[in-house]
Amino acid sequence: MAAASASHANETARRYASALFDLANEKGELPTVDKDLKDVISMAKASVDLTRLLDSPAFSRDAKSKALRALADKAKFSKMVSNFLATMAMNGRANEIVDAAGHFDELYAKHRGVKRAVARTAEEMTAAQRKKLEAVLAKAVGSDVELETEVVPGLIGGIQLRVGSTLIDASVASKLERMNTAMKGA
C-alpha cells in the first residue's frame, strides 16, 4: 500500500512540474524558474526546519502557504515560483514540492537537450578530471552533459558513473566485493 501511495505522490509531483514547465515555457521564464526551484531543493536539503514545514501535517495548509510565500520573497524568487509553492501548499501537496522541483529540472534539461550524469568517487575530482569526464560523456551520449559529482569515501577508489538509468561501477569497493563473491563460490 505504501508503494502505491508513493507512486501516486510521484505522479502528482510530475503533473505539477509539467504544468509549471508549460507555463514557464509559455512566459519565457524557464531559466529563472529552474534556478529558483534548484534553490528550493538546496534549501530543503540544508534546513531541517524547512523540511519539517513541508512534511509535517502539524502545520495547516494556510500556514505552509504563508511561510513558503515569505521564504520566496526573502529569497527573491520569481512570482511564478512563489505562486507555485503557495499553490502546492494550499492544495495539500507541500510534501511533494521538492519532488516537483526535481521533475521540473529534468523537463528543463530534456528541453535543452542535456543529459544528466552522476559521478561518485572516493575523493573530490579535480577541475581537469571533471572537464575530461564531461567531454568523454558528451561524446559518448551525443549531447551536452551536466555532471554532478558526489564524494563517497567507501568506494575506496575508482568511480561509479550513472547516466540516465545506466550504472557503470568501476569502484575498488565493487571489484573487491566481486572478488569476495567469486572466492566464496570457488
The model's pLDDT over 4-53, given as tens digits with 9 standing for 90+, comes to 445 555 899 999 999 999 999 999 999 999 999 999 999 999 999 999 99
| Strand partners of residue 119 | 149, 161
Whole-angstrom distance, CA of residue 24 vs CA of residue 97: 16
Per-residue pLDDT of 144-164, as tens digits, reads 888 989 999 999 988 999 987
* Model pLDDT, residue 10: 87
Nine cell digits for residue 39:
534553490
* Model pLDDT, residue 38: 96
Is pLDDT above 50 for 115? yes
Domain boundaries, the chain: 2-110, 114-185
Whole-angstrom distance, CA of residue 182 vs CA of residue 35: 47
* Model pLDDT, residue 122: 92
Average pLDDT over residues 103-124: 92
Averaged pLDDT of the chain:
91
**Cell 561509479 identifies what position?**
160
- Residue 186: pLDDT band (50, 70, 90) is low
Burial of 86: CB neighbours in 10 Å, binned 0-12, 13-18, 19+: buried
Is pLDDT above 80 for 99? yes
Whole-angstrom distance, CA of residue 55 vs CA of residue 52: 5
CATH class of 2-110: mainly alpha
Query: Could you tell me what percent of the chain has a pLDDT over 90?
Result: 69
Per-residue pLDDT of 122-141, as tens digits, reads 999 999 999 999 999 999 88
- Residue 104: pLDDT band (50, 70, 90) is very high
